[in-house]
Structures are given as structure tokens and as C-alpha cells.
Amino acid sequence: MGLFRSLFTAVFACVGSFLFGYDSGVITNVIAQEHFVSHFENPSAAAQGGIVSAYTGGAVLGCIVIFYVGDPLGRTRSIFVGSFVLLFGSALQTGCTTVAMLIAGRLIAGIAIGMLSSTNPVYCSEIAPVAWRGIMAGLQQWMLSWGFFAAQWIGYGSSYADSAFQWRFPLAFQCVPALILCLGILFQLESPRWLVQKGRLDKAKETLRKLHYDGHNDDFLELEYNEIQAQINLEKNLSAKSWKSLLGKASSRKRVYLACGIQLAGQLSGINVINYYGPRIYAALDIDTQTSLMIIGISGALSIVWCTIGLWLSESIGRVKPLIIACYGMACCLLINAVLSQTVVAAGTTNHNALRASVSMNFLISFFFTPLGINSWIYPAEIFNTETRARGNALATVTNWIFNLIFAQISPIALEAVGYRYFYAFMAFNIVTGTCFWIFYPETRGKTLEQMGELFGDEVIHVDATSSDEYKASSTGEKDISGGDLEKK
């Protein structure tokens, strides 16, 4: 019963992640629609970059907001505020009559998405049983994939309308899940770790029982609660109240570098350039707009399948090995795709076999990106301690959005200037990031959030595994129950 409640809570909170994917993906279709281009008098590449990057610029601001208000507000109230702001921004986009109005709506929606994308992985990791933490924190990427899927197919279906419905309906649709999240999150449980941090101990214990009780694990729940309380008390003097204080300790700095690095790797992979500007890329390959939207839609559907498999495997194969494979795999695909596409464009002819191979490489890039996409949200949310988790994860997510903003702004210009040769750079980036994962990133699978400090040389409170088979078994999903003692290490 407790596991079901935890999963339901995490999935519902990640409606915000669905909106993250939808609002990111919908603009690809909108700016390609004939009636959009006509209504806004054929906006230039720079204007299109501005429409896309206003959203990512707003997301940077949203992450900064969470850095300062995430801990005072708590996880559920942060999600409420984010969803409310998103509802307003979505409505403004739907009713826009000028490019400036659209950009304003995108900016406001971006602020909301920045808040949600920073909060959701933290919330999911804090309410999850240790054996399910990878799956539940990784729901951000899974729901994001569903959001992209919905945006792509709604955009494709709307393209058959011969009116402003082509682009206004895809923008309007996002108001519905935003309203559901805004109202429903008020009835969800707060993070038990945040409650302990704020001294609301009875409420924390009650919430932990609702989330993790399976009918006969009373001893385990007592041990889990005691470890959470003891570790948070130990960390009180580490609370990061500013950007500077977050970087004041060597172990904290290492966490920040790793968290920001994995988010940066997601942007350097090139996946968002393909997602944002797919129609433009396919147009360079002599593929018409509706066909390119259909291709992107099929790729989005498959990404859900890959993500589902990736979540299922996340607790069996760990975090780091899939990251290495993902980066090297994407590098190979980008190299092949760039060579194929450049050959077709240089020849000035339509080589159908080369075109098919090029499209298939984009499908493979999506496949290889899956472990990086999932773990870019899991890893930062689990390596920080409770006192620094909200702020540290916000800083990591800021990194994601800053580089998202940079590539969103320069990519249409770069694609016009150099075409598919632009992706040689992303091939090199993937080789570098894959090597960094191999050398610098410790494996985190199987440890509780409170035990994570062992990887960074921090003093931790942990359950003695010799006297607590149940706590040890929690990392494998077993249900043995026995007593245990807390000790400091």
C-alpha cells in the first residue's frame, strides 16, 4: 500500500514534467505551421530563436527562484506555485496576437518550468523507498517523454487544419494539465525529509508511514525515520543559504561539479537541437514539413518505450555504466548522420537510401540519449544531503537551462550557416562527456539518501548492516525484517 502511494504521488507530481516536455516540444510544431508563419509574417531565424529561447531564459530564472524559496516553501507548495504560473503563461501564449506577446508567454511559462524541473526530482527522490529511488526520480524524464510525444502528435494532427487552429490549439492544450496539477498537488503528501528539516517530526513520521508502510515493516520504518532525523540534525550547520555557502566545503563542491556536469552533458549531446529544429533539419534533407513532423512524432513514441525500459533497468545496472554507453553511442550516430547528410547536400541530389539512413540515425540518437536523460535528473537529486538538496539541484538545473538557452539561440543561425556539419561539434562533446563519466562519477545505486555522504567523505549516520538485514535488503527490494542500530561514521 505504501509503495503504491509513493508511486502515485511521484507520478502525479511529474505532471509538471509532462508539461516540461510538452512546452519544450510544442514550439517545434508551432513555428513550422503554415498559418503561424503567415500570421507572424514569416519570422526570421533570429525571431524564431527568440521565441524558443525566451522559454529557456525563463527557466533559468525559475531555477534561481527555487534556489531561494524551495526550502522555505517546501516541495508541494513549490510545485503549486510553479503550476499556477505555468497556467498563466500558457493562457498568454494561446491568446497571443504579436511575437512580443508570444515571447512574454513563453518567458512566464519558462519560469514555471524552471521551478518544476528543479523541484520534481528532489521531491520524488525524497519520498521514494531506496529500492525504487532511481525509478521514481527518473519519472521526470519518462513524463517529459510523454509530454514531447503529446506535443508532437497534437502538432502533427493540428497541421491538417486550415486556420489558426493549426498553432493555437497546441498552445492551448497545455492549460489542462497545468490546471490539474495546480489543484491536485494541494492534496499530496509533503516530503518527510523536508518535514524533519523543519522540525515537524510527528507529521514526518506519519507521512513516512503512509509512503513506505507495507503492512508489516514497522521496525524498518522506525530505523528509517531515526536515520533521517539523525542525519539531518548532523547536517544542520551545513545549510546552504547562498550560492557561496553551497560551494564552501570540498565535498559539497564535488557534488555541485558532478550535478552540473551531468546536466551539461544532456545539452552537449545535441538532442535538444534535433528536438527543437527537427523540421528545419529535415527540410535541408528535402523532407516536407508534414512528413518531418510525423517522423518526429514516431521518434517521440519510441522514446517513451526506451525510457520505460531504462527506468526498469535503472536499479539493476546502476547509473554510471549506462551514461558512458549513451555518450559514446550518440557520438557514433552523430558522426554517421553528419557524413550522410553532408554528402547528400553537397551532391545536390536526393539519395533516398542516404536520407533513410540519416533519419534512422536520429532514431538511434534518441535511443542512446535515454540513459543520459533519465540519470541527468536522478543523479543530482540523490547526491546532495537534505540541507543542500533543493539548492544544489536548482544550481544543476540552472546549468541545464543556461546551455539550453545558448543552443536554442544559436542553433537556427548555425544550421543556416553550416547545415549538418554543426553536429560534428556535438559528436566531440559526447566523446568528452562519456570519458568524464568513466573517470569522475561514483556509482550511487543502492545507498539511502542519508548514506550518500560516504561517497564524498562526509560524516554520516547509517544503519549497521550487520544488525539490520532489512535495511540492507531495502536496496534490493527484499522484505526481510529485523532490528538494527544507528551509528555515526
The pLDDT score that the predictor gives to residue 386 is: 81
Helix (H, G, I), strand (E, B) or coil at 47: helix
d(CA 412, CA 394): 28
470 shares its domain with 448: no
Q: Is residue 211 part of a domain?
A: no
**Same domain for 189 and 105:** yes
Say if residue 356 is in the same domain as residue 465. no
Q: How many CB atoms lie within 10 A of CB 304?
A: 17
Based on the structure, what is the number of domains in the chain?
A: 2
- For residue 159, the 8-state DSSP code is T
Query: Does residue 212 belong to any structural domain of this protein?
Result: no
Q: Do the domain assignments include residue 416?
A: yes
Q: What's the pLDDT score for residue 470?
A: 47
Q: Give pLDDT, residue 468.
A: 47
pLDDT of residue 113: 94
- The one-letter amino acid code at 394 reads A
Question: Are residues 392 and 480 both part of a single domain?
Answer: no
Residues 131 and 39 in one domain: yes
- Specify if 207 maps to a domain: no
pLDDT score recorded for residue 481: 32
* 482 and 371 co-located in one domain: no
In a domain, 205, yes or no: no
Tell me the longest C-alpha to C-alpha distance in the chain.
Answer: 73
Q: What is the pLDDT of residue 411?
A: 77
201 CB-near residues (< 8 Å, 6+ apart): 195, 229
pLDDT attached to residue 86 = 95
Q: Looking at the domain assignment, is residue 218 inside a domain?
A: no
Q: Which pLDDT score is estimated for 446? A: 83
Residues 314 and 352 in one domain: yes
Same domain, 409 and 484: no
Question: Is 465 inside a domain boundary?
Answer: yes
**Same domain, yes or no, for 341 and 468?**
no
Q: In whole angstroms, give the CA distance from residue 75 to residue 124.
A: 10
Distance, in Å, from the CA atom of 405 to the CA atom of 55, rounded to the nearest integer, reads 8
462: left (phi over 0), alpha (psi -120 to 50) or beta: beta
In this prediction, the residues of the chain whose per-residue pLDDT falls under 70 are 1, 45, 236-245, 275-286, 289-290, 293, 344-352, 461-489
Whichever domain contains 186, its CATH number is 1.20.1250.20
What is the amino acid identity at position 116?
Answer: L
pLDDT at 85: 96
Q: Nearest Cα to 124, choosing from 146, 139, 143?
A: 139
Domain shared by 117 and 66, yes or no: yes
Check whether residue 381 and residue 479 sit in a common domain: no
Q: Do 61 and 129 sit in the same domain of this protein?
A: yes
Domain that holds residue 463: 459-488
Q: How far is it, in rounded angstroms, from Cα 426 to Cα 34?
A: 30
Instruction: Please tell me the predicted confidence (pLDDT) of residue 486.
Output: 47
Residue 473, pLDDT score: 46
**pLDDT of res. 191:** 94
Residue 262 lies in a domain: yes
Task: Note the pLDDT of residue 276.
Answer: 61
Q: What is the distance between the terminal CA atoms of the chain, rounded to a whole angstrom?
A: 33
